[in-house]
Amino acid sequence: MVNFNSIKELIELAKERNTSIGKITMEYEQEHSFDSEEHMLKSMQNNWRVMQESIERGINNKDKSLSGLTGGDAIKIYNHRDESYTGKTVMTAAASAVGVSEVNAVMGRIVACPTAGSCGIVPAAIRTAAEKNHNSEEEILDALFTAAGIGLVIEANASIAGAYGGCQAECGTAAGMAAAAMVQLGGGTPDQVGHAVALAIKNLLGLACDPVAGLVEVPCVKRNGFVAVHSMVAADMALAGVESVIPVDEVIDAMDRIGRSLPRTVKETAEGGLALTATGKAISKRVFG
Query: Is 212 an interacting residue with respect to ligand SF4 (CB under 6 A)?
Result: no
Site size for ligand SF4, by CB under 6 A?
13
User: 170 in the Ramachandran plot: left (φ > 0), alpha (ψ -120 to 50) or beta?
Assistant: alpha
- Closest approach, Cβ 267 to ligand SF4, in A, equals 8
Q: How far apart are CA 87 and CA 76, in angstroms?
A: 15
Query: Is 216 an interacting residue with respect to ligand SF4 (CB under 6 A)?
Result: yes
Residue 199 or residue 266: which is nearer to ligand SF4 going by CB? 266
Q: How far apart are CA 169 and CA 157, in angstroms?
A: 11
Single-letter code of the amino acid located at 101: S
Residue 142 or residue 170: which is nearer to ligand SF4 going by CB? 170
Backbone angles phi, psi at 163, to 5 degrees: -70, -20
Beta strands (DSSP E) in the chain are none
* Exposed / middle / buried, residue 98 (Cβ in 10 Å: 0-12, 13-18, 19+): buried
Query: Is 209 an interacting residue with respect to ligand SF4 (CB under 6 A)?
Result: yes
Interacting span for ligand SF4 (CB under 6 A) from 70-78, 143-151, 195-203, 219-227? 219-227
Contacting ligand SF4 (CB under 6 A), which of 54, 96, 118, 128? 118
Half-sphere exposure for 277 (CA within 13 Å, toward CB): 10
- Closest approach, Cβ 215 to ligand SF4, in A, equals 8
Residue 219, preceding peptide bond in cis (omega within 30° of 0): yes
Query: Is 171 an interacting residue with respect to ligand SF4 (CB under 6 A)?
Result: yes
The residues, ordered by sequence, that sit 6+ positions from 160 with a Cβ below 8 Å of its Cβ are 114, 115, 151, 154, 169, 170, 173
Query: Is 211 an interacting residue with respect to ligand SF4 (CB under 6 A)?
Result: yes
Query: Is 268 an interacting residue with respect to ligand SF4 (CB under 6 A)?
Result: yes
Interacting span for ligand SF4 (CB under 6 A) from 28-36, 83-91, 132-140, 163-171? 163-171
* Exposed / middle / buried, residue 54 (Cβ in 10 Å: 0-12, 13-18, 19+): buried
| Contact call for residues 283 and 213 (beta carbons, < 8 A) | yes
Query: Is 204 an interacting residue with respect to ligand SF4 (CB under 6 A)?
Result: no
Residue nearest to ligand SF4 (CB): 162
- Closest approach, Cβ 35 to ligand SF4, in A, equals 29
Interacting span for ligand SF4 (CB under 6 A) from 40-48, 150-158, 165-173, 190-198? 165-173
Residue 35 or residue 155: which is nearer to ligand SF4 going by CB? 155
Interacting span for ligand SF4 (CB under 6 A) from 3-11, 77-85, 167-175, 194-202? 167-175
Beta strands (DSSP E) in 8-98 are none
User: Which parts of this chain interact with ligand SF4 (CB under 6 A)?
Assistant: 117-118, 162, 167, 170-171, 209, 211, 216, 219-220, 223, 268
